Structure 1
Amino acid sequence: MSTPLSDLQPGQVLARGVARALCELGLDCVPEMPLRPRLRADLMALDRKGEIWIVECKSSRTDFTSDRKWGGYLEWCDRYFWAVDDAFPTELLPEGTGLFIADGYGAEMIREAPLDKLAPTRRKALTLDFARAAARRLQRLTDPGLDGLAP
């Protein structure tokens, strides 16, 4: 069951479009993926080889300038991207990061993010966290009564 675009927040609209584009590129995504306390990736994606991408969605200049946590995401992925709409002033975005221009229906990669490979132990832990988060969400979709039973 899909949520109508009109019910989504602006960042969620961008995340939906980027998730569709990533799927077309062969990556699978988990939205709002917790990394550590007070650090949550808007989208975390995993490719067939195990490469991990993080995409941070910014819906406005204010959204970007008020959130200075982005540097903390770099140690949790192999590639880091921004997702913004076509009206966003992209000159604000730091060099050395990837860029998607997105809307609720798709996204285009404008700039590929450089590869900065994770350490094997961090990759394994993140991959397990990714798999468990995806499985937990699927299970809660198929059994909504589980919410009261499990953490």
Structure 2
Amino acid sequence: MSLASPEISLAPGFQLARGVSRHLTQRGMSCLTEFVPTRGLRVDVLALAPDGEIWIVECKSCRADYQSDGKWAGYRDWCDRFLWAVDCDFPVSLLPEDTGLIVADYYGAEVVREAPLHKLNAARRKSLTLKIGRTAAQRLSRLLDPDFTGWPA
């Protein structure tokens, strides 16, 4: 059973996020897509490693998608490692070399360039980890009880 609508599942960004999530899950990480770490930012994939390390993966489907989005620099303040996910035809020379790189498709992904580590401070890690847990629990609850009207916005 698929919960994604056909229109969403065909979108290039969704396809990349799906492949990235599959790959990172196989590496022992837990992933959330479309996660909002703070007002004004929405990351494509956030992954929480077993050791508590937090990765953000920004999916870019083409040159125009990359060039039209300047928010990504703010994502570094909300993760230990920042990576891009692109398909095999993306012009990777556009991407900053001091970031990680994943090549992905609908079915999987591969880390091509490891992301440098920039450790979050303890207070931000704690608040972000709590928000990740609450977001995941609320999403699961909404799936289990979609008719309930009392969910927070």
Q: Same fold (TM over 0.5)?
A: yes
Per the alignment, in what secondary structure is the counterpart of residue 63 of structure 1? helix
Which amino acid is the alignment partner of residue 78 of structure 1? D
| Alpha-carbon RMSD | 1.2
**Residue correspondence of structure 1 range 19-38 to structure 2 within 5 A:** 19-38=21-40
The gaps in structure 2 that reach 5 residues or longer are none
Matched ranges for 1:1-151 at <5 A:
1-2=1-2, 3=4, 7-8=8-9, 9-146=11-148, 148-151=149-152
Deviation at 1:36, TM superposition (A): 1.6
Aligned length: 150
Q: What is the CA–CA distance in structure 2 between the aligned matches of 1:51 and 1:100, rounded to whole Å?
A: 17
Letter in 1 for 2:27: L
Letter aligned with residue 149 of structure 1: G
The alpha-carbon deviation at position 7 of structure 1 amounts to 4.2
Select the structure that is richer in strand: 1
Residues 5 and 104, structure 1, Cα contact 8 Å, conserved in 2 = no
C-alpha contact 1:5 1:13 (8 A) present in aligned 2? no
Structure 1 residue runs without a partner (length 5+)? none
Deviations 1:75-125 (A, max 9, x none): 000000000000000000001100100000000100000111000000000
Q: State the distance in 1 between where 2:147 and 2:120 align.
A: 37
Residue 136 of structure 1 aligns to a residue whose secondary structure is helix
Conserved in 1, the CA contact under 8 Å of 2:16 and 2:106? yes
Q: Counterparts of 1:124 and 1:36 in 2: how far apart (Å)?
A: 14
- Flag as ranges the 4+ runs of structure 1 deviating above 3 A: 3-7
Structure 1: which amino acid aligns with 2:150? L
State the shift of 1:5 in Å: 6.6
Q: Deviations over 1:9-63 (max 9, x none)?
A: 1101100000000001110001000012220110110011100000000000000
The one-letter amino acid paired with 1:12 is: F
